[in-house]
């Protein structure tokens, strides 16, 4: 009996020792799961945007925003694939990590510099090349470039065990200004985008949901929100020790979502991408102008297309549209003929009041094409 009890107690004290790659502290385990989510979002983004990427490829020319879009389309998956290999490879030695750990901070700084440039370029464009906007956003952009470059020198290797991955962490809490500088720029970008939309709404009230989607305010808001959450982890959450990488748990996701939403900002530009594109609500193209069809009589009769052009100086012109067809004139209610010498087809250019933006110097020219069908009556004998 005593021997059996001795064997059972000795077997009960036996424990299974997990390798360091599986025996992870809670925060490190959470970071690994979160990084899997980051890679999933990056892969999903590539898949979802493939049709729009192809359509953009077939568009004419290669303006700067188009070049940036395709650079980000390739740069983001490559960067975080390499970072993921270093993070999950159990054979990645500490010696190799000591030579590699600056890869993510430096590459992410380059990524933020490119995405921030898109915000500066686009905000400057929707404000009709306003120099004050350029100087303000450009100043924030210059600060971001300098701050992120300096902060890259104040990272270190997270002291993890062999096989637990290679992670870079800041040496001091003030290194969080690396992300603070970018968050300030994205905050200014969001405020200016909302201000421009509000100005358009005051000039011409519109459905707020459609206004948000038209101007991409949801995209600017997403960029700002993910960077603000990253700020909470950097400056509020306290790590349990030097081996706790909790401060950097959201950095990869913030970089991926910032680039993803920025690419969607480029795709949301209506019209050509030259010089940053133009504001969607300031000038309407002729194809998007309001056109109405009014019928006065049975179909199949003579038609008179009416071309209404908004211009500053009222003027009326009659221009032939097709070959002459001599026939009965039609007399309107004002006693005047709407046709020129028996021409059934013509263009009537009607002056309309100009709707100009109070903050722009040039008046918008809108063309509305409508068709009127008039019943022809036989001439009285």
Rounded to whole angstroms, the Cα distance separating 116 from 369 reads 41
Q: Tell me how far CA of residue 5 lies from CA of 1, 2, 10, 282, in angstroms.
A: 6, 5, 9, 87
Q: Which residues pair with 155 in a beta bridge?
A: 170
Contact 267, 260 (CB under 8 A): no
Higher pLDDT, 30 or 380: 30
278: pLDDT confidence band, cut at 50, 70 and 90? confident
DSSP string, 294-310: EEES-TTS-EEEEEEEE
pLDDT, tens digit (0-9, with 9 covering 90-100), for 11-41:
455 677 777 777 788 888 888 899 999 999 9
Q: Which of 82-96, 184-198, 324-338 has the lowest mean pLDDT?
A: 324-338
- How much is the pTM? 0.70
- The pLDDT tens digits of the residues spanning 62-94 come to 999 999 999 999 999 999 999 999 999 888 888
Where do the domains of the chain lie, and which CATH numbers do they carry? Answer: 26-276 (1.20.1070.10), 286-374 (no CATH)
Model confidence over 290-331: pLDDT tens digits?
443 343 444 444 444 444 444 444 444 455 554 444 444 444
Mean pLDDT taken over the chain: 78
Q: What is the mean pLDDT of residues 210-229?
A: 93
For 98-127, letters b (16+ CB in 10 Å) and e give eebbeebbebbbebbeebbbbbbbbbbbbb
């Amino acid at each position: 009996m005593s021997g059996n009890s001795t064997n059972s107690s000795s077997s009960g004290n036996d424990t299974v020792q997990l390798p360091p790659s599986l025996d992870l502290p809670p925060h490190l385990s959470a970071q690994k799961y979160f990084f899997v989510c980051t890679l999933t979002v990056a892969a999903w983004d590539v898949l979802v945007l493939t049709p729009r990427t192809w359509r953009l490829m077939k568009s004419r020319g290669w303006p700067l925003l188009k070049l940036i879009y395709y650079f980000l389309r390739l740069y983001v998956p490559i960067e975080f694939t390499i970072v993921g290999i270093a993070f999950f490879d159990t054979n990645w030695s500490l010696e190799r990590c000591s030579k590699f750990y600056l890869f993510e901070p430096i590459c992410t700084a380059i990524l933020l510099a490119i995405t921030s440039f898109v915000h500066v370029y686009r905000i400057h464009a929707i404000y009709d090349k306003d120099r004050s906007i350029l100087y303000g956003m450009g100043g924030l952009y210059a600060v971001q470039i300098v701050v992120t470059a300096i902060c890259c020198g104040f990272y270190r290797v997270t002291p993890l065990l062999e096989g637990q991955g290679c992670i870079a962490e800041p040496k001091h809490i003030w290194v969080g200004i690396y992300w603070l500088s970018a968050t300030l720029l994205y905050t200014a970008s969001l405020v200016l985008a909302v201000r421009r939309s509000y100005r358009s709404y005051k000039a011409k009230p519109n459905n707020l949901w459609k206004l948000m989607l038209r101007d991409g305010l949801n995209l600017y808001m997403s960029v700002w929100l993910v960077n603000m959450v990253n700020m909470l982890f950097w400056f509020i959450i306290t790590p349990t020790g030097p081996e706790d990488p909790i401060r950097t748990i959201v950095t990869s996701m913030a970089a991926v979502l910032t680039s993803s939403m920025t690419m969607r900002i480029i795709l949301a530009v209506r019209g050509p991408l030259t010089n940053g594109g133009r504001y969607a609500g300031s000038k309407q193209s002729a194809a998007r102008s309001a056109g109405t069809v009014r019928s006065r009589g049975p179909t199949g009769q003579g038609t008179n297309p009416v071309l209404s052009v908004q211009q500053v100086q009222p003027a009326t012109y009659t221009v032939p549209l097709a070959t002459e067809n001599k026939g009965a004139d039609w007399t309107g209610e004002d006693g005047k003929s709407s046709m020129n010498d028996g021409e059934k087809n013509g263009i009537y250019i009607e002056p309309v009041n100009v709707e100009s933006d109070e903050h722009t110097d040039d008046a918008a020219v809108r063309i509305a094409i409508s068709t009127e069908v008039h019943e022809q009556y036989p001439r009285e004998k």
